Structure 1
Amino acid sequence: MTHAAGAIGAAPLTGPDLTRFFERDAIAVARDLLGCHLRVGDVGGRITETEAYFPDDAASHAFRGPTPRNGAMFGKPGNVYIYRIYGMHWCVNFVCTTGSAVLIRALEPEAGIPTMIDRRNNDALTQLCSGPGKLCQALGIDLSLNDRLLDRPPFSISPSAPVEIVAGKRIGITKNAEAPWRFGISGSRYLSKPFR
Structure 2
Amino acid sequence: MAVVTGASRGIGATIALTLAAKGIDVAIVFTSESSTAQAEAVSKQISDLGQRALLIRTDLTGYNCGNDVRDKVLRGFSTDKIDFLVNNAGITGAQDSLSIQLEQYERMMNINLRAPMLLVKALVPHMNRGGRIISMSSVLAREPYPGMDAYVASKVALEGLTRQWAVNLARSYGITANAIICGAVQTEMIKGTG
Does the alignment reach a TM-score above 0.5? no
**TM-score computed with the length of structure 2 as normaliser:** 0.26
Structure with higher strand content = 1
Structure with higher helix content = 2
Q: Larger Rg: 1 or 2?
A: 2
**TM-score computed with the length of structure 1 as normaliser:** 0.26
Higher relative contact order (CA 8 A, sep 6+): 1
